[in-house]
Amino acid sequence: MSKKSSEERFGSRGIWEQLEAMAREQIQRFVQRLLEEEVTELVGRAKSERRAVVGEPRAVVYRNGHGKARRLALTSGTIEVRRPRLRGLDERFESQVLPLFKRRTQEVAELLPKLYLHGLAQGDFELALRGLLGDGAPLSASSIERLRGKWVAEYEAWRQRSLVGLEPVYLWADGVYVKAGLEQDKAALLVVIAALRDGRKVVLAIEPGHRESAASWGRILRGLLERGLKVTPRLLVADGHLGIWAAMADVLPRVAEQRCWNHKIRNVLDRLPRRLQAEARELLRQIAYAETRQEAERLRDLFVDRYGSTQPSAAETLLRDWERMVTYYDFPREHWKHLRTTNPVESPFAAVRLRTDAGKRYKKVANATALIWRLLLVAEQSFRRLDAPHLLPELALGASYRDGIRVVEEVLETTDQEAAA
């Protein structure tokens, strides 16, 4: 193909007006070149180049032209490429650059659930995406519907996957509510996220349940064990809902329990008049971020002394379930920022919570669950790792901490008589 100047290819208009088209053309050439280089590497010689040794024993593979032009949707637009064809192969050539039946990149596939969950109705998909990806984008209403069906099938396979080999140290659990269109009650999507020994956070479970009941949480926790989760976590962080704690006592009674401070602070402030909330919020934050358990208890008593007589409901709310509020002091100080709240679950769902009305378009909870699961897996790739991951292995083996500092147990010297025994 002869090279042409920018003016010859795009006319007399300024390059700025044609910048998108120029960029797509360069991307198209680059992808086509990758396809050709992939074939060259497989064949062992460039196009029109003779074999180095005539009569070599290995099978001879020849180029056989190109297939039909096919569209590929990228976030930068849609391009057309032609897959090289080969003959002389014992089996079909599988390209690593452009696998069979792929019409969009992974980034475009990840864009679809985000748009859907942020309020874009299914009927608006084609118009919106053609504006983003170009008129030639391989999209249609039926392709969007097939993609949604694929997510449902993938979710069903994911929720039954084996958990053998996973070694969680911490768990976070929370419920997110979605009001599906044809469901009589709100469905709670129950989510469990784990921190593993290497510091990574992964999604363990996301399933619909009935209003975070003990039975629903119990079913999820038992499901984790049935799918091969052999290692008992050291700590669970959750909100104040009684269902999760009842289920933990029944299924995982040896796991320590920490309540979310964000939920506690909101609950206390809800019981105070607006004029007192700013001052009370600052004191509550000081309690949550106290350096020692003793200091937290001192600040707690200060709060009760200040508001207990005039606002007894707020004081009682703070005191309720206090032991679960300060469990994190028994774990490494470096992990406290991760253990005070259920933010590892809350943060990925922030956008979903802001668009609660969008949930009304879901006709079935199963569809809502699969789509939100897809979004959560996208978010999982950018989950923040735990600080000081080197502490996790010894913590998993039972290391003890007091006020965030490792407790080294004194080893008593045995007497000669004990040693002989």
Domain shared by 113 and 98, yes or no: no
Question: Is the residue at 6 inside a domain?
Answer: no
Residue 353 pLDDT grade (very low, low, confident, very high; cuts 50, 70, 90): low
Domain shared by 99 and 218, yes or no: no
Per-residue pLDDT tens over the stretch 25-59 = 888 888 888 888 888 877 777 776 666 555 555 55
Query: Which pLDDT score is estimated for 132?
Result: 60
Kindly state the tokens that stand for 77.
Answer: 């637009």
Domain boundaries, position 116: 108-157
Domain shared by 225 and 316, yes or no: yes
Domain shared by 365 and 342, yes or no: yes
Phi, psi (rounded to 5 degrees) for 110: -75, -25
Strands (E), 222-283: 235-238, 256-259
Q: Choose between 186 and 290: higher pLDDT.
A: 290
Phi, psi (rounded to 5 degrees) for 410: -75, 135
Domain shared by 168 and 287, yes or no: yes
Domain shared by 196 and 342, yes or no: yes
Question: Is the residue at 3 inside a domain?
Answer: no
Per-residue pLDDT tens over the stretch 370-408 = 877 877 887 788 888 999 999 999 999 999 999 999 998
Domain shared by 68 and 153, yes or no: no
The count of domains in the chain is 3
Domain shared by 151 and 171, yes or no: no
Domain shared by 243 and 380, yes or no: yes
Beta-bridge partners for 196? 168
Average pLDDT for the chain: 80
**DSSP per residue over 110-124, as a string?**
HHHHHHHHTT--GGG
Question: Is the residue at 409 inside a domain?
Answer: no
Question: Is the residue at 7 inside a domain?
Answer: no
CA distances (Å), origin 118, targets 115, 355, 361: 5, 6, 12
**Contact (Cβ atoms closer than 8 angstroms) between residue 130 and residue 104:** no
Domain shared by 32 and 163, yes or no: no
Per-residue pLDDT tens over the stretch 70-107 = 777 776 777 788 878 877 776 666 777 777 667 767 77
Q: What is the DSSP letter of 156?
A: H
Domain shared by 306 and 398, yes or no: yes
Where is the domain boundary, 139, 157, 175? 157
Where is the domain boundary, 39, 74, 103? 103
Kindly state the tokens that stand for 141.
Answer: 């209403």
